[in-house]
Amino acid sequence: MRGAKRSVRRPPRSVVFAAFLLVCTVAIPSAAEASEGEPPENSAAGSSKPEADEATEEGEEKERLNGLTFGGAYTFHILRDRDSATTGEPLRTAEHLGGFVIAYERELIPQHLALSIAKPFYFSNERFDTPFDFVLKGLFRKGSWEGFIGLLLTWNIRAFEREREEQEGERNIMSFGIGAVIGGAYFFNPRWSLDLELGYSNIPTDDIVEHEFTAALTSVYHF
């Protein structure tokens, strides 16, 4: 008959439920395997960060070729034989001065060769010395300890107080000398060290001083 409706035969509910379980059992393990096979982006970034930090630290250590120095200084001078300009009597032949020193150092060849420019200030109750010292050092590094030996060039202006000026017959004396230094340093960390330096200079110019012996204990900031 034309007006009769066709009857559609639906599958039993048990068959639909079984098909749904089958699809789930196949899809879920496949998704889990895919997620395990891909490395997480965060872990990759985290593993590369320490390597970058270590490289940065190593680069910083290699670039610490400069040093600023400050500390106490002492010098002992052996003077030439001479007479007082006022009384004609012999004057002293030895003198002690104390003070401080500031300096800048640059490593020309890392841990092997350095150039230092130092400005000591020495005082006594009769005299004031303000030299410029240029030192070329050979460095010997082992662990936290460093030894050095170097060639010294010194240029100095000596100033006398009034009574001493009358005895010496001069207000100021300019001098030039050449000598050597030796010493060592202990590094607390890559930035800070404690240095001990001993030096000797011979003064060949027309000066009251003939021989200079110096000592300095300083702290050094490396950058």
pLDDT exceeds 90 at position 50: no
Count CA within 13 A, CB hemisphere, residue 60. Answer: 11
Lowest mean pLDDT among 13-17, 98-102, 155-159, 215-219: 13-17
Q: Is the pTM of this model over 0.85?
A: no
Tokens of 17: 């439920």
- Segment 62-108, tens digit of pLDDT: 578 999 999 999 999 999 999 999 999 999 999 999 999 999 999 99
Whether the CA torsion 100, 213, 198, 107 is positive or negative: it is positive
β-strand pairing of 66-79 with 94-109: antiparallel
Q: Which residues pair with 159 in a beta bridge?
A: 128, 172
Tell me which of 39 and 117 has the higher pLDDT: 117
Distance CA 31, CA 37 (A): 10
Mean pLDDT in residue range 107-126: 96
10 pLDDT band, cuts 50/70/90, is: low
Give me the pLDDT at residue 120, please.
Answer: 98
Q: Which residues pair with 163 in a beta bridge?
A: none
206 pLDDT band, cuts 50/70/90, is: confident
**Residue 53, φ and ψ in degrees, nearest 5:** -65, -45
β-strand pairing of 172-187 with 209-222: unpaired
Tokens of 138: 């050979």
Give me the pLDDT at residue 7, please.
Answer: 46
CA dihedral 219, 183, 131, 179 (to 10 degrees): -170
Mean pLDDT in residue range 212-216: 98
Q: What is the per-residue burial (b if ≥16 Cβ within 10 Å, else e) of 29-57?
A: eeeeeeeeeeeeeeeeeeeeeeeeeeeee
Question: What single-letter amino acid sits at 180?
Answer: A
Give me the pLDDT at residue 3, please.
Answer: 45
Give the percent of the chain with pLDDT over 90: 70
- Segment 13-33, tens digit of pLDDT: 554 555 555 555 445 445 445
pLDDT exceeds 70 at position 52: no
pLDDT exceeds 60 at position 147: yes
Question: What single-letter amino acid sits at 64?
Answer: R
